[in-house]
Amino acid sequence: MLDICCIGHVTRDTVITPFDTRVMPGGTAIYFSHALAHRGERYRLVTALGAGGLTEGLLDGLRAAGVPMTVLGSAHTVHFENKYGADTDQRTQRVLEVADPFRLEDLAEVEARVYHLGPLLAEDIPGEAIRMLADKGAVSLDVQGFLRRVERQRVVPVDWASKLEWLPYIHYLKASDEEMYVLTGESNPQRGAAILHGWGATEVIITSGSKGSLIYNGSEFITVPAFVPQTNRPDATGCGDTYMAGYLQQRLKGATEAEAGTFGAAMATLKIEAGGPYTGTMAQVEGVLRRAERA
């Protein structure tokens, strides 16, 4: 029995910032997995890659970090172009290739306490897979992919048409404030989180970038401030994935929502400061927490 299993495609990411342009592996699969490497959890990534030269090296970092993986075949590998301006909370995207969806039979043999789903596009993970996994453990969902439709390579925000059917199977629901608005039509985080909880999600996490996050468990709203990164070249790609890795890890250890959110925020800060996937240590996380206490 695994503690956590992440299900999501690895992507080939072209990241464009005001400072430079880089090509790197990405997606929830990469950033979530790196954040849990060497942390002691029984963890596995289930992902898929297409064949060909463009996929070479995409998994090298995860292999070097010792991340256990199940790698399925696909006609293509997802290829995203992420463009950031001066405000790192905002980005524009293009999708240059799309991978095959996961199938129920791909996931049937995986046993875990928590399944973290990281769809990148609306068709990545079928709803029936959510039901199947919820029968075996708690399902955690980063909803962003279910709200993305590709039109002429552009990512267009859309509502999740089957949200009322599948949200009751979601224990941990993570959405950015923009995604919350698409889902609910509500811009107030407390009201939006309450709507999503009312639709069936047990624990709702709304992230707002540098403004922090809000957690709603059905009885109280918990505000988690963001830590200020100590860098003049922040890299926010994968920040939410890193946050959720820390959050779920701590919740499985018995931490409260507030404790888990604060821990996840500290991990996300280290990821922003260093750039690339998270490579921080427990000592560094504790340093960020102490730094905030002194502020």
CA-CA distance, 290 to 188, in Å (whole number)?
Answer: 30
Q: What is the pTM of this model?
A: 0.91
For residue range 187-199, list pLDDT tens digits in order.
999 999 999 999 9
3-state secondary structure of 95: strand
In eight-state DSSP terms, residue 162 is T
- Lowest-confidence region among 80-89, 123-132, 162-171, 206-215: 80-89
Nearest to 148 by CA among 190, 176, 109: 176
CA-CA distance, 39 to 36, in Å (whole number)?
Answer: 5
265 and 224 Cβ atoms separated by less than 8 Å: yes
Distance of CA 241 to the CA centre of its chain: 3
For a pLDDT cut of 70, what percent of the chain falls above it? 98
3-state secondary structure of 119: coil
**HSE of 203, CA atoms in CB hemisphere, 13 A:** 18
How large is the average pLDDT for residues 99-116? Answer: 96
3-state secondary structure of 210: helix
For residue range 26-41, list pLDDT tens digits in order.
899 999 999 999 777 8
In this prediction, residue 295 carries a pLDDT of 55
**Adjacency order of strands within the sheet including 148-151:** 21-26, 11-16, 78-84, 91-97, 154-157, 148-151
Helix (H) or strand (E) run with residue 81 in it: strand 78-84
